[in-house]
Amino acid sequence: MTGTTIADAEIIYEELPTKLVHMKFKTKDGEVIIASTRPELLCACKAVIVNPKDVRYTDLIGTKVTVPISNQEVEIQAHHSAQIEFGSGAVMVCSYGDHNDVALFRELDLEEVIAIGQDGRLTEAAGAYAGLKPKQARTKIIEDLESKGFVEKIEEISHRTPVSERSRAPIEIIPMEEFYLKQKGSVEKMRELGSQIKFYPKMHQQILMNWLDSIKIDWPISRRRYYGTEIPIWYCKKCSEPYLPEPGEYYQPWYLECPAEKCPKCGFTEFVGEERTFDTWMDSSVSPLFITKFKKDEEFFKRTYPTAVRPQAKDIVRTWLYYTLLRCENLTGKKPWSEAWIMGYGLDEKGMKMSKSKGNALDPLPIIEKFGADTFRFWSASEVNHGNDFRCSEQKIESTKKFLTKLWNVSRFLSSFPIVESADLADTDKWIISELDKLVKDCKVGFDEYNFFIPAIAIREFTWNIFAAQYIEMAKARAYGIEFSEAERDGAIYTLHKVLSTLLKLLAPITPYITDFLWQTLYSDKSIHTEQQTKAESNEDLTQHTQAISDFNSKVWNEKKEKGLHLPDSIKIEIPKELEIFKKDLVAMHHLEI
Ligand SMILES: [Zn+2]
């Protein structure tokens, strides 16, 4: 017990080992076996239910059984929620045992027994077990049940147990007065708004829909936690009338004087401040309203609300995303955004979810310090397709750095060539430009869906394996003007810069620092982030030759290696017919004998 109210959205279920105790309840002429994982709640048992279709109990419906240990007589009632195949098929119904019990108590109109108090311990209602924590009481009552012959058998089972997502403490249902925000009546409306929001990736919309399907109670918004936003209410000490102060200020009623001089109802002058705080999602669910200056600047709000996109991780869809949707709709009648960008979990190296409480979280700051923010960003973009969970390891982040080093080295090489405004292009230049066109199109598809994985992977592949490995090698001799005309040389230099400047712009959203530095060093006095993204051109498509170019170059390099030749040595290899158009560059690149 952590001693506070929590919402369903904060509850997770864990399979925990527990004892399923099969107990003997005395009937008039015999006994009924009832299995339960919570024998400490026997004192709160007010009925036994059996399925109306369960022929074993047809004759017993309406008769009484005696609850072991606490000795109260309760009625056997027929109810469809009793599962024939679970245990003996007969189930004890205890007040506040679980959600199902709460519903059954209301439905069957049973008188409730509060067996667990707000301190998380058993109450006087539990007789000899009063003051014990539920787990201690369970151990003790099982001993007593056994010694008194009430136990038929005990099974060790794994039980789906509700626990707090934050503290992993088991959940107990205890009746308490709390503030609630109505949500049950808005489920349909939220489903409609949720379906209008475009989710990236689409699959994570289902998390919201599943959550909406499972909403059973209104949202409890008050908490008995110390740290939190104070609930701004004072109560009249005499008549308990609540007093709400004027909006616009931050109030701490638990230690500040009530701003009202006297109770508006009875005129009494003493007040007591509310001590509870709000659920944390009460605060964070206003973020779209806060940034659009809701109730502060009408004009600004009109122009900016609804906002465009909510970026967040998938583990808080049912809390942050849902509560924001609910509150913003309540207050404005509109959904807060038109799109939602949902990230997967960062997992540790073994594939376990990272969390502060498990201690397996990787602190990004020292890693950014060590490898640079751009390395970290490029790793994050290129590690996994958007929306999926991804494993984090320092080694993988470090290896990403090699790509940025490659980009740096390519840029340094190109910086030795002047900028050429226009030129006649060789077929080799036209080929790499058509590959560049394809890259620009691929990147646009990714950027349009906020999916940075697509451009990151495509840019890395192009830069490394096509531009640097093939084109630069093929165009190098021409760019230096060795045995080429000035016009031919300019074609190579023009193309080298066209490709690099385009690459920098494509990469700018993913690695903003290195691209801006290189851009301002090579191409402009202004930041790259003021540039328009490159649009795809429709140049002659020569990409069908890419594979043949790569195959031929590898073949020459391998043959030289096998023959013990150095790269500048000449060799006699025939150029395939398909690559005739690139002949001049290939001959110069490989020193081919013709
Ligand atoms: Zn009053």
Can you tell me the distance from the alpha carbon of 169 to that of 221, in angstroms, rounded to the nearest whole number? 19
Let me know if residue 259 belongs to a domain. Answer: no
User: Residues 207, 212, 214, CA angle at the centre, nearest 5°?
Assistant: 100
Percentage of residues of the chain with pLDDT beyond 90: 73
For 558, the token pair is: 């391998």
C-alpha 81: how far from its chain's center? 34
| 510-531 confidence digits (pLDDT tens) | 999 999 999 999 999 999 999 9
- Same domain membership, residue 309 and residue 437: no
**Strand ranges (E), 299-454:** 307-313, 337-343, 346-347, 390-391
* Dist. CA 235 → ligand 1 center (Å): 8
Tens digit of each residue's pLDDT (9 = 90 or more) over 197-239: 999 999 999 999 999 998 888 898 998 887 889 999 999 999 9
Q: In which domain, by residue range, is 215 found? A: 180-231+276-343
Confidence of residue 171 (pLDDT cuts 50, 70, 90): confident
Residue 255 lies in a domain: no
Q: Of 445 and 103, which is predicted with more confidence?
A: 445
Asked whether residue 559 falls in the same domain as residue 493, the answer is no
Last residue of a domain, one of 541, 557, 583: 541
Q: Are residues 193 and 76 in the same domain?
A: no
Ligand 1 geometric centre to CA of 50 (Å): 51
Cα(254) to centroid of ligand 1, in Å?
A: 18
Contact, 8 vs 214, CB < 8 A? Answer: yes
In a domain, 240, yes or no: no
- Does 307 lie in the same domain as 406? no
Could you tell me if residue 269 is inside a domain? no
- The answer to whether residue 339 is domain-embedded is yes
* Cα–Cα–Cα angle for 548, 406, 545, rounded to 5 degrees: 15
CA distance 171 to 30: 35
The answer to the question of residue 173 being in a domain is no
- 204 and 284 housed in the same domain: yes
Nearest CA among 338, 324, 292 for reference residue 200: 338
Rounded to whole angstroms, the Cα distance separating 471 from 585 reads 10
Q: Which residues are close to ligand 1, an ion, with C-beta < 5 A?
A: 236, 238-239, 241, 263, 265-266, 268
Q: How far is CA 390 from CA 125, 203, 380, 445, in A?
A: 50, 16, 9, 22
> 101 C-alpha to center of ligand 1: Å?
38
| 3-state secondary structure at position 527 | coil
Q: How far is the CA of 251 from the centre of ligand 1 (A)?
A: 20
Judged by average pLDDT, the poorest of 285-299, 387-401, 444-458 is 387-401
Same domain, 512 and 560: no
Q: Considering its fold, how many domains does the chain have in total?
A: 4
Q: Is there a single domain that holds both residue 573 and residue 535?
A: no
534 and 449 housed in the same domain: yes
Structure confidence at residue 578 (pLDDT): 95
Q: Which of 343, 367, 393 is a domain's end point?
A: 343
Whether residue 1 has pLDDT greater than 50: no
192, 129: one domain: no
- In CATH, what number is assigned to the domain containing residue 42? 3.90.740.10
pLDDT, average across residues 396-407: 93
Beta-carbon contacts of 218 under 8 Å, excluding residues fewer than 6 positions away, are 180, 181, 182, 183, 184
Q: Cα(238) to centroid of ligand 1, in Å?
A: 5
Query: What is the pairing mode between strands 234-236 and 271-273?
Result: antiparallel
Please provide residue 60's backbone torsions phi and psi, each rounded to the nearest 5 degrees: -90, -15
Domain boundary pick from 300, 318, 343: 343
CA of 214 to the centre of ligand 1 (A): 41
Q: How far is the CA of 471 from the centre of ligand 1 (A)?
A: 84
* Same structural domain, 206 and 333: yes
Q: In this structure, are 534 and 551 located in the same domain?
A: no
pLDDT at 452 over 90: yes
Taking the alpha carbons at both ends of the chain, their separation in whole angstroms is 85
Bridge partners of 353?
347
Q: Does residue 266 lie within any of the structural domains?
A: no
In a domain, 244, yes or no: no
Q: Within this chain, do residues 224 and 155 fall inside the same structural domain, yes or no?
A: no
ipTM over 0.90: yes
Q: How confident is the model at residue 482 (pLDDT cuts 50, 70, 90)?
A: confident
| Cα of 265 from ligand 1 centre, angstroms | 5
Residue pLDDT, tens place only, 128-163? 999 999 999 999 999 999 999 999 999 998 888 888
Helices (H), 322-424: 322-332, 364-371, 373-382, 394-414
The DSSP element (H or E) to which 234 belongs, if any, is: strand 234-236
- CA of 253 from ligand 1 middle (Å) equals 17
> Sign (positive/negative) of CA torsion 334, 337, 340, 346?
negative
